[in-house]
Structure 1
Amino acid sequence: MTPKGAATRQRIIEGTSVEVRERGAAATTLDDVCARTSTSKSQIFHYFPGGKEELLLAVAAYEADRVLADQEPYLSSLTSWEAWQNWRDLVVRRYRKLGVHCPLGVLITELGRKTPAAQALTGQLLERWQGQLRAGVTAMQTAGQISPSLDADRIAAWLITAVQGGVAVLLSTGKSDHLEAALDTSLALLRAKPELLHVGASQDPT
């Protein structure tokens, strides 16, 4: 693909992302995308031969990358409780700003149950995200801040579930209260009494 072609393809993806934010995936039409991106349907089908479904999957991949990028610089440096708190604040701000217009949430909700490709994309995002959080938990275990008897991978999975559960409520209500409560409680438990958590413990801490 030429640089010009790559730029056009990216413009279509980003424009579609904006449309999904405003309308939802189901209501977004190719005509809407053409108007938003100043492209024709023939151009869209040139870059996305599978039509709308292929385009929405590309948008979901774009938004998945943004999910992790928007958590930096803290996600890749979770080596202190201050960094964890900063990460928490960043996550809450991100989803509070997006509100009910979280494009990835909308796309996964509308596509994830229907297409194996969307399910695979979601799985890849969660695997990458969980790996980053697992590295942070392991760093805190090495520093003596989190019990080494806990399974770092399961703790990371628990934290992602806390985020996604809170986001699900936010998408339904427009309020971030549950997301904040889930993250605050999770971090408070890890920080105050890590030895009492039996999440995937490799041995009985008693």
Structure 2
Amino acid sequence: MTTAKGAATRTRIVDAAVDVLVRGGREAVNLDEILATTRTSKGQLFHYFPGGKQELIRVATEQQIQRLAIESTERLDTFEAWQRWIDEIIRLHRLQARDDACEVAALAGRILGPDPVERTLLGTNFAAWHARLASGLVAMKESALLREDADADAMAALFVTTLQGGAVVDKATGTLNYLEASLRATLDYLRGFARRDEVHRPGSSST
């Protein structure tokens, strides 16, 4: 049974690994540096992560994914909710980019990594994000906010691809323009499928 002190030690190790992954990728993960940063021993690290570096990277990746998921729990079933979600994504992207630590770009960069377990983990969670976005879009169709010809599955895929691609290009170019421009353009595309009565409804944000 893990004690409170042991749990705190494990959390420090994982948090340090997440920070390294976000800033430098899996190649930058160095166990000796993580031990020095967290002031833990090699025995402690291998006690919590018997598989060593590979297991630690997998656990850190899973925590990173969960952290990103928690940052946006609102159901995206109105145009206003989509606007708030995009504004929050852009805010976090700009905040993290100041420290060269964009979590979205870091995840996307590891999807083609050498570890099949990590790839499966990332792929599963990208699929879960896609399903969550599609669910909100289906709800918008059911509540007559979107036209019947709006393809919820395809639009959700577009948002996931835009989110990942924009973050990666920003990371590569050292700018903050691509993610914001592409997400806002994608939202405008979604608004193009608003039902006529939604477009002209007083106070609607889809105009």
TM-score of the two chains, using structure 2 as the length reference: 0.83
Match of 1:15 in 2: 16
What is the SS of the residue equivalent to 1:148?
coil
Say which of 75, 80, 83 aligns to 1:82: 80
1:102 and 2:81 aligned? no
- Partners of 2:28 and 2:67 in 1: how far apart? 23
Deviation larger for 96-105 or 157-166: 96-105
What is the SS of the residue equivalent to 1:135?
helix
What is the SS of the residue equivalent to 2:150?
coil
Q: What amino acid is aligned across from residue 90 of structure 1 in structure 2? A: E
Q: What amino acid is aligned across from residue 188 of structure 1 in structure 2? A: D
Match of 1:32 in 2: 33
Residues 13 and 131 of structure 1: CA distance in aligned 2, closer, same or farther (over 3 Å): same
- Partners of 1:40 and 1:93 in 2: how far apart? 37
1:1-206 paired onto structure 2 within 5 Å: 1-4=1-4, 5-72=6-73, 76-99=74-97, 100-103=100-103, 105-106=105-106, 109-110=109-110, 112-193=112-193
1:107 deviation in Å? 5.7
Q: % of aligned pairs identical?
A: 35
CA contact (8 A) 1:70 1:94 kept: no
CA contact (8 A) 1:162 1:179 kept: yes
Q: What amino acid is aligned across from residue 88 of structure 1 in structure 2? A: I
Number of residue pairs the alignment of both structures matches: 192
Residue by residue, what CA displacement relative to the aligned partner does 1:75-111 show, whole Å, maximum 9, x if unpaired? Answer: x321221111110101111122222423564365357
Residue by residue, what CA displacement relative to the aligned partner does 1:90-149 show, whole Å, maximum 9, x if unpaired? Answer: 111112222242356436535743111111111121122112111110121112222223
What is the SS of the residue equivalent to 1:57?
helix
Where do 5+ consecutive residues of structure 1 fail to align?
A: 196-206
Deviation larger for 79-88 or 97-106: 97-106
Residues 48 and 161 of structure 1: CA distance in aligned 2, closer, same or farther (over 3 Å): same
- Partners of 1:125 and 1:145 in 2: how far apart? 27
Residues 111 and 152 of structure 1: CA distance in aligned 2, closer, same or farther (over 3 Å): closer
- Partners of 2:38 and 2:138 in 1: how far apart? 44
What is the SS of the residue equivalent to 1:77?
coil
- Partners of 1:108 and 1:189 in 2: how far apart? 23
Q: What amino acid is aligned across from residue 130 of structure 2 in structure 1? A: Q
RMSD (Å), alpha carbons: 2.1
